[in-house]
Chains A and B, each alone.
Chain A
Amino acid sequence: MSGRPRPVLADLHVHTVLSPCAEVEMIPPLIVRRAARLGLGLIAVTDHNAALNAAALIAAAEETGLRVLPGLELQTREEVHLLCLFGALESCLAWQKEVFGRLPALANREEHFGPQYVVDATGDWLRTEERLLAVSAEIALDEAIDRVHALGGLAIPAHVDRPAFSLLANLGLIPAGLAADALEVTGRFRPETGLKQWPGLQGWPLVVGGDAHRLSEMQSRTLLKIAEPTLEELRLALRGEEGRKVSVDWGNTD
């Protein structure tokens, strides 16, 4: 069973070649290798509105020291990006199915948005996803968080300090009663200035995600104290329960 809490570095926001704006280097074996070099014990695969490469990345990390949470980065009707993380692939795929049902019936246009590749664990091309993923799903932020919770997942508004596609930029504030499990900030966020600029961030568990569209953007600043790299342990850490904790290294290295 689970042992004593130990330090685990995490990046809960990694894209793959399924995301039209990601570089072609974002394939499972290279992500796993980069994660190892950064000393990461836990990452989440979070492509835009889809989790079609989640199984491949989980498989690529098997028998390594890295655990991969399946997830996706939902774009809500408010154009707010929301990380949706799950413990089991089936729950994640159930959520993906709901999301696909709420996307507009539009085809991706590679020349404008970029290609969307579904790959296997070795990074080999399997097919090209044709539905447009770089678009908003017809789901409000509150409803999305509720649905993710109902499926047993965690919901974390992404890069809230970014000027676009973020909670603070698009809604102007953190809504009262927001049921999110944590808030993600970028590697550029510094608490001494950020908490002054957005006092509403006070008291929220913060994580730093790479929002990595290329390998060099992966981040290793989020330190979890957890017994195992699982969603349930992550949940406890974000709540600060049972001796589990989350902290961020705010150092100046980029």
Chain B
Amino acid sequence: MEAVRITLEQIIEELGLELVTAGDGAVRSIGGGYASDLLSFVMSHARAGDVWVTLQAHDNVVAVAGLIGLAAVIITEGQRPTAGMIARAEQEGVVLLATAKTTFTVVAELAALGLSGGADGRGS
């Protein structure tokens, strides 16, 4: 199957996401997607370049995203990152996006754009 090149800019545009962090992160290209609210699973299963979909909005989200080198974090269900979290994300070069949509809807829309979650049961 032909790999689809998708940029963060496209995702923000197509899904109508709010870019919370300052900077030009919006041009990076995305490797794949991962969705979970348990940070320990993200830490062991997400891959560099993934966009991570979660409703968690606290400082450790930034730490995990920075550690793995995720392309962006989409924070769902109207959860708002704190000012401290945003500052930390900008410092670490982590792109934060926000939306009122549910995680289910966001994942469905990302899949419709051609983004893949990779092989089933990854890392297990």
28-80 of chain B: CB within 8 A of chain A: 38-40, 43-44, 56, 58-60, 63-64, 66-67
The one of B43, B56, B58, B92 that contacts A135, using a Cβ cutoff of 8 Å = B43
Asked if A112 and B66 sit within 8 Å, CB to CB, the answer is: yes
Query: Given A112-B92, A164-B58, does the pair A134, B40 have CB atoms closer than 8 Å?
Result: no
Among A77, A109, A164, residue most surrounded by chain B Cβ atoms (within 10 Å): A164
A136–B37 alpha-carbon span in the complex (Å): 13
Query: Given A104-B44, A164-B56, does the pair A79, B92 have CB atoms closer than 8 Å?
Result: no
Closest residue of B by beta carbon distance from A136: B40
0 or 1 for each of A190-216: is its CB under 8 Å from B? (1 = yes): 000000000000000000000000000
The one of A77, A111, A134 that contacts B60, using a Cβ cutoff of 8 Å = A134
150-166 of chain A: CB within 8 A of chain B: 163-164
* Chain A interface helix/strand/loop/mixed: loop
The one of B44, B58, B59, B67 that contacts A109, using a Cβ cutoff of 8 Å = B67
0 or 1 for each of B87-120: is its CB under 8 Å from A? (1 = yes): 0000010000000000000000000000000000
The one of A21, A79, A111 that contacts B39, using a Cβ cutoff of 8 Å = A79
A94–B67 alpha-carbon span in the complex (Å): 31
A contact residues around B59 at 8 Å (CB):
21
Closest residue of A by beta carbon distance from B56: A164
Q: How many residues of A contact B (CB 8 A)?
A: 15
Least CB distance, B73 to chain A, in whole angstroms: 14
Query: Given A21-B59, A164-B58, does the pair A135, B40 have CB atoms closer than 8 Å?
Result: yes
CB of A250 within 8 Å of the partner chain: no
A229–B98 alpha-carbon span in the complex (Å): 47
Closest residue of A by beta carbon distance from B43: A135
A21–B59 alpha-carbon span in the complex (Å): 10
Closest residue of B by beta carbon distance from A162: B58
Query: Given A164-B56, A164-B58, does the pair A112, B40 have CB atoms closer than 8 Å?
Result: no
0 or 1 for each of A112-128: is its CB under 8 Å from B? (1 = yes): 11000000000000000
B contact residues around A164 at 8 Å (CB):
56, 58, 60
Query: Given A164-B56, A164-B58, does the pair A113, B40 have CB atoms closer than 8 Å?
Result: no
Closest residue of A by beta carbon distance from B58: A164
A21–B60 alpha-carbon span in the complex (Å): 9
Query: Given A112-B92, A134-B60, A164-B58, does the pair A79, B66 have CB atoms closer than 8 Å?
Result: no
A contact residues around B63 at 8 Å (CB):
112-113, 134
13 more A-B residue pairs beyond the given contacts A79-B38, A104-B44, A135-B43, with a C-beta to C-beta distance below 8 A: A21-B59, A78-B38, A79-B39, A111-B66, A112-B67, A112-B92, A113-B63, A134-B60, A135-B39, A135-B40, A136-B40, A164-B58, A164-B60
9 of the cross-chain contacts (CB-CB < 8 Å) are A21-B59, A104-B40, A104-B44, A106-B43, A109-B67, A113-B60, A134-B63, A135-B43, A136-B40
Which positions in A face B, CB cutoff 8 Å? 21, 77-79, 104, 106, 109, 111-113, 134-136, 163-164
